[in-house]
Structure 1
């Protein structure tokens, strides 16, 4: 699915270069997320995966190249304006308001809405029943997996067209890792496009429509999730062997 097929990509990152303090970490990275796709970015530590997500969401300076959301140029647009355009981002760290209750965290996610968010909150509770049980509990007192539920639930409160997840299973127990992947598949099944950076590369590619391998801030491989898993070079260099 792409412009050639008459379908406009949800997200296009085109030859992006950028980083911190005037030093480029990204060296001409490009990727595309099409409507309804689950796209995964994998690669070694220091490859620029999380940097790319932050650049796309306006959290660091892009020095050249372009980011487009549904065809509109959003390069270096501030994050608060991107929510209005249907783009949500869940960072790896500090992704909840710890002193606020679960419900208050979700309400914060709906700050840009001009209509009632009550129906969407119930949909979030349907996806994460534990949050409904603990809606009055401070988010900071919850386990890592539960906080991830809160963070993802808050990002869904604007009913995004694109959800970006940065290392959603980092630091979680194996049981919770599997649960997070199930939630991600359920969210994607609702028609929400997802772009995800993930350290559990094999599991992530196993549920991905497509994947990108980054290394030293550059594109190294692009294929379907299954294709990358079957690629011997990718497996040996980036997935811990076969």
Structure 2
């Protein structure tokens, strides 16, 4: 049974389909990456899975349960966490307050969850009283990912987690994503730094105009000359 599986998705905005039969799946403990040119429907696919964009046709299953068009607010209780590319922290709140808000709907002691986040992101422990809005882009991304982990998710969905970061912070973010995955959490991410993302991916999807063009292991996609020429800059 796949962790999450989508088949034949048609979805978009204002009656215009951005996704045109898109399919994807994530198995338990996998890192799966969606790449493709701007406007390919990558972020739309993530939002459709999470209930933020209406699906006109097709089906989404999560751990064997059909969740097509379920409201986004129901996803956290099912163990799905989503980190959008923008507006992913509360800038006026402290790091600690941001993390605590991540578990607002989850009962129980937050201490063990906070400790797990601080182990993955030690800098957040040091900065826990600092306002998130005063942090660097890379640090804010850590806060956003940490807050998502506060629900103890089975699946972590990341939309462009390295956007706007320096090469050093890109490397650090990718390493933290691998560390999260090693905890047994499935990861599905859209990523503009396609080569680095595919290098750590169990599987990758290349989308173009809302359609699946290629699907293979990360290394196989990197080695595919057509994919490299058309979608990875040669």
Same fold (TM over 0.5): yes
| Aligned partner of 1:58 among 38, 46, 51 | 51
- How do 1:123-134 and structure 2 match up within 5 A? 123-134=116-127
Q: Which runs of no fewer than 5 residues in structure 1 stay unpaired?
A: 1-7
Q: Partner of 1:162 in structure 2?
A: 155
Q: Partner of 1:46 in structure 2?
A: 39
Q: Which runs of no fewer than 5 residues in structure 2 stay unpaired?
A: none
Distance in 1 (CA, whole Å) between partners of 2:54 and 2:73 is 15
Q: Partner of 1:200 in structure 2?
A: 193
Q: Partner of 1:79 in structure 2?
A: 72
Q: Partner of 1:143 in structure 2?
A: 136
Distance in 1 (CA, whole Å) between partners of 2:69 and 2:111 is 32
What SS does structure 1 have at the residue aligned with 2:11?
A: strand
Distance in 2 (CA, whole Å) between partners of 1:33 and 1:126 is 26
Distance in 1 (CA, whole Å) between partners of 2:164 and 2:63 is 33
Structure 1 position 24 matched with structure 2 position 12: no
Distance apart, 1:239 and its partner CA: 0.4
Distance apart, 1:117 and its partner CA: 1.3
Distance in 1 (CA, whole Å) between partners of 2:62 and 2:105 is 18
| Aligned partner of 1:181 among 154, 159, 174 | 174
Cα RMSD, aligned residues only: 0.5
How many residue pairs match? The answer is: 234
Distance in 1 (CA, whole Å) between partners of 2:25 and 2:185 is 15
Distance in 1 (CA, whole Å) between partners of 2:116 and 2:78 is 21
Distance apart, 1:112 and its partner CA: 1.6
Distance in 2 (CA, whole Å) between partners of 1:240 and 1:231 is 12
Which runs of structure 1 show a deviation greater than 2 angstroms over 4 or more consecutive aligned residues? none
Distance in 1 (CA, whole Å) between partners of 2:47 and 2:111 is 30
Q: Partner of 2:205 in structure 1?
A: 212
Structure-2-length-normalised TM-score:
0.99
